[in-house]
Chain A
Amino acid sequence: MSRRLAHVDRVGIEERAAQLGARSIKTTAKQQGIRLAVSVIDLTTLEGADTAGKVRQLCAKAVCPAPTIPEIPSVAAICVYPSLVAVAREALAGTGVRTASVATGFPAGQVSLEAKLRDTEDAVAAGAEEIDMVISRGAFLAGDDVRVMREVARVKDACGDAHLKVILETAELGSYDHVRHASMLAMEAGADFIKTSTGKAAAGATPGVCLVMLEAIRDHVERTGRIVGFKAAGGVSTSKAALHRLVLVKETLGDEWLTPERFRIGASSLLNDLLMQYAKTESGRYGRSEDFSRE
C-alpha cells in the first residue's frame, strides 16, 4: 500500500487553533466549562513508583474531587498501569467512574505484537473498561501503514468489550500531515478514541495537534458514520488550557462531542487547578493550592 498524505498547512492550522484560544470564557461559561472539564478527565497516574495506596487515594479524589463543592462532578475515569487495574476497579466499584489502563508496552510500544496483546488481555482480565494503547511509531515512520493498522485491529480484538483509545504520540510523528494520516489509520483500524500523547514525550496535546485530530475525526465520521472520540493528553495542566481544548472540540465537532463518552482530557495536575479556578469564580479570590487535597 503506497502512502498518500492529506495536506495540513502548519501556519493555517496553528492560526485557527490560536484564534479559538482567544474565545472569551467568563462568568457562567467559565463555571460550566470547568465542571465540564472535570467530568471528562481521565485522572492519571503512570509512574514506576505507583502503589495500591496511591491509586486508592486517587480513586477517592476521582469520585469526589471537591467535597466542599458539591456541584463538581466525578471525573470520567482513572488511568493506571495494568498491574494496578484490579485495585482501581475495586475502589471505583459502583461509582460510575471507569477504570482505564495503558497497555501494549506503554509508553514506547517497542515490544512484540504478542506481548502487546498479552498486556492488553491482562489489563482487560483485571477489570479494565478502557485500554489506552500506543501505535508503533517506528513502523509508522518507516512507512509501514499496514503494520500500524494491523496492530490496532488486533489489540481492538483483544479488548473485547473494553473501549480502545489509540495513542499517536504526535510529538514523535514529525508533522501535521503525519498526525492526520496516523489519525485516519487508527480510526480505520477500529479505534474508539484517538489520543494525542502518552504524556512521556517532549510535547503533548498542543492546540494545533488537537485541531488536526479533531478535523480528522469530523471527516471520518462524515464519511463512515462511525463515532470516534478524542482524548487530549500531555501538557494540559491549567484551566485555561483545558477550556481552550473544550472550545476546539465545540467549534470543530460540535456540542455532541462535549461529553465523557466522546471527549476526554488525560491529566494529573489539571484537576486541582480546575478546582482552584472554580473556587475563585465563587469567592472572587484566588485560593491556595493547600486548599485542595494532593494525592
Chain B
Amino acid sequence: MTVEPRTSIVWEYAPAPEATDHLRLAERYGLFIGGAFCEPAEARYVPTINPATEEPIAEIAWAGPRDVERAIEVARAAQPRWAALPDRERGKYLFRIARLIQERARELAVVETLDGGKPLRESRDVDIPLAAAHFFHYAGWADKLRYGVVAREVEPLGVVGQIVPWNFPLLMAAWKLAPALACGNTAILKPAETTPLTALLLAEICQEAELPDGVVSILPGDGTVGATLVRAPGLDKIAFTGSTAVGRDIQTALAGRGMELTLELGGKSANIVFEDAAIDQAVEGIVNGIFFNQGHVCCAGSRLLIQESVLDEVIAKLWARMGRLRIGDPLDKNTDVGAINSAEQLERIETLVAAGEDEGAVRRSVACSLPERGYWFAPTLFTDVSPAHRIAVEEIFGPVVSVLSFRTQAEAIEKANNSRYGLAAGIWTDKGAKAFEVASALRAGVVWQNTYNHFDPTAAFGGYKESGFGREGGPAGLRPYVRVVR
C-alpha cells in the first residue's frame, strides 16, 4: 500500500457571477405615460451606467416640462375611474403586480445590481422580495381602508407625485406606489437619475398586469425633472424620499398650495451597544447596519455608540470581522460589499472621510484590492470620534462608521438623541427591560432591538426631526394617501 504525503488543500471560493444572458433589456427606454412607452417631447436620452464598470447599460429618456404636464393630465383623467373601481378590484391589480415581480425576480435582481452596484445577494434576497411583499401587503388593504385608517369614510387624495432615491430603486418605488394605488390615487413616479432601470421594468409589469392606462406614469430624469414635478399645477400630493436639502426645497415650493406632503429624508442613526449585549451578534448587527448596501441606507447605523467597558473588545471584533468582508464584483453571489452608486456619491464620501481625518479622528480602512474601473470605497472605521466632528454629525451615506463611547444608559440616550436627525436606532442588550426603557426615550422613528436594518411591509417607517414626516409601511402607510371624509 502506498501512502501519498499529506499536502494541505487551499480552499478559495471560485468566482460565482450571476448569469446575465437571460436579460432582455432594450437599448433605449422612453417615458411611461398613459400606459405606453413614448418619446419625450424634447428628445433627450442619457445613458445609465453600471457603477461597477462605468459601462453604459441603456439609453434613458429624460422627461421635460411638457412631459410632466402631459403625465399629470393623463393621471388626472384616469383617477376618477380608478378610484371608482370596487376596492377589491384595485386590490386584484396590486396582487397581479406583486406576482409579476416575483415571476421576474431574478431578472429584476440582476438589473438592480447592474444599474446600482449593490451586491446581488442583497438585490436577490432583500430588495426584490420586499418590493413584492409591499405590493402584496397593500393589495390586501385595498378593500379594508376604513379599518386601516380607523375612520368611517376615506377618499383618495387624487394625483400624487412620487420621487424616489437611488439606493433601493425598485423597493422605494414599491413603497410609494403600492399604498397610493391601494387608496385609489393615480401616481407619477420619478425614479432616480442614476438608477431608472427597474422602475422602467416595473412599467412593463404594469402593462403585463393590464393596469388601466394612466394610473401609473414613470418619468426618469435628474433633479430638474423632480423640481418641475414639484412645482407643476394639478397634483394633490408629493411624496419624497431623499436628501434633507432637497426635502427642504420641496417643502418651500409646496408652501401655501394646499398640497399634501410626506418626506423621508436623511439620518445619522445611533446604534447603541450595551455591555450586556451578545457581543458577537452585536458585531454582526453593526456590520449589517453600516455596510449593508455600501452604507447607502437612510437608516444606516452610522453612529456607533459603545459602552466604554466593552469598547476595546467590540472594536477589535468589528475590525476583525470587517477584514472578512468580500468586496468586489456586485454580480458575484459571494460579494458582501459592492460598488458605490455614482462618482458624485464617491466624492461626497471621500470629502467627509478626509474631514474626519483632518479633525483628528483615527481612520482604519480595510486593506482590499479594489477594481480599477468603477466607483469603490473600502469599508472604513473611525475611532476617537468626538460628537462635534463632522463625521459624527453629517450623513455620509457610505460604508463608513463612526465610533463614540458612552458610560451610562442616560448618557447613551442623550448622545443618541443629540442629532438633527431621528430616523432609526439600534439597541443591543440582553436585558428586556432596559431595551424597552431606552427605546421609549429615543427620538427615532424606528428602533431595532438586537437586530438592524430589518424591514417588513407591515411595520411603519419614517422619521422625527430633519429625517422627515409621514409614515410608510403597514396601516400607518395608508394615512398619507387618503383624506378623511367623516
Contact = CB atoms under 8 A, between A and B. Distances in A.
Interface of A: 6-9, 11-13, 15-16, 22-30, 32-33, 35-36, 39, 63-64, 73-74, 94-96, 215, 246, 250-251, 255, 258-260
Contact of B280 (A13, A23, A30, A94): A13
A255 B281 CA distance: 22
B90 interface: no
Contact of B16 (A24, A39, A250): A24
Contacts of B10: 32, 255
B429 to A, nearest CB: 9
A256 to B, nearest CB: 10
A197 to B, nearest CB: 22
Interface string B1-25: 1011110111111101000000000
Which of B4, B125, B276 has the largest number of chain A CB atoms within 10 A?
B4
Contacts of A25: 13-14, 16
B284 A95 contact: no
Contact of A12 (B5, B11, B284, B333): B284
B281 A250 contact: no
B278 A32 contact: no
Interface residues of B, number: 29
Nearest to B323: A254
A7 B14 contact: no
A13 B121 CA distance: 19
Which of B1, B11, B121, B277 has the largest number of chain A CB atoms within 10 A? B11
Interface string B430-469: 1000000000000000000011000000000000000000
A11 B11 CA distance: 29
B18 to A, nearest CB: 9
A27 B14 CA distance: 7
A259 B8 contact: yes
B1 A9 contact: no
B256 to A, nearest CB: 49
B450 A255 contact: no
Contact of B278 (A7, A23, A260): A7
B152 interface: no
B334 interface: yes
A36 B450 contact: no
Contacts of B8: 259
Given A12-B284, A12-B285, A250-B11, A63 B278 contact: no
Given A12-B278, A29-B13, A32-B12, 10 more contacts: A6-B278, A6-B279, A7-B276, A7-B277, A8-B280, A11-B450, A28-B14, A29-B11, A73-B9, A74-B6
B324 interface: yes
A182 to B, nearest CB: 16
Contacts of B451: 11-12
B452 to A, nearest CB: 10
